[in-house]
Amino acid sequence: MKEFIDFLVTSLVKNPQSVAVEEIQEGSNYRYTVAVNPADMGLIIGKEGRTINSIRSLAKAKAVKEGVWVDIQLLDNRIENPVDKHGEHRVDTQNDDQIENTNGTTDEETTDQDHA
């Protein structure tokens, strides 16, 4: 299966030498993490996530034939966090120390302005 996923991904990207597929097996469950060159992320995700979802569908069809379960996660090397099956980054972007307000100031700046 790992070779199949690697073949699909390398066939689509402009930098095939940058493709890396990692396999983690837990019983009959297989989890694959795919990393590509950041310049190729758009090609692999596709419009509205269609390309990565097609890769997942092909892998799942092969998995059914083999009697196993598969999950494919796309690793976004730009921020080092996986992209979920909806093409969204799984990242907590809120920084508790400094939260930007709608007017472009931070809470610390707002507090300083209130005291002035």
pLDDT given for residue 84 in this prediction: 52
* CB contact at 8 A, 74 and 56: no
Interval 50-69 mean pLDDT: 95
Separation between Cα atoms, residue 43 and residue 45, nearest integer Å: 6
Q: Which domains does the chain have, with CATH numbers?
A: 2-90 (3.30.300.20)
Residue 66 has pLDDT above 70, yes or no: yes
Interval 47-64 mean pLDDT: 95
Helix (H) or strand (E) holding 72: strand 69-76
Separation between Cα atoms, residue 85 and residue 87, nearest integer Å: 5
> Which conformational region is residue 104 in: left (phi greater than 0), alpha (psi within -120 to 50 degrees), or beta?
left
* CB contact at 8 A, 13 and 51: no
